[in-house]
Amino acid sequence: MSLPPLLPENSRTPAEWMRRAASLVNMVVRRLMDIGATGDRPPNPAVGQQRFNTTTGQPEWWDGASWITW
């Protein structure tokens, strides 16, 4: 008994599947982790809150007193 191919011949190309998968991962990350510029930081962050700072290009978190960059 043989298994059918993972990507049938009439389906999208592997490159398109990878592009769609990357797009889905990016969407999930954006929804789970705040992303924005330094000026868009939340006014009352919770201790341990994480976000990606697009100004610095680095992730950061609130330690209760200041934003810490990884």
pTM of the model: 0.56
Tell me the domain boundaries of the chain: 39-70
3-state secondary structure (DSSP) of residue 39: helix
Per-residue pLDDT of the chain (70 residues), as tens digits, is 566 666 666 667 888 888 888 988 888 877 777 889 999 999 999 999 999 999 999 999 999 999 999 7
CA distance 28 to 26: 5
Closest CA to 51 of 27, 28, 32: 32
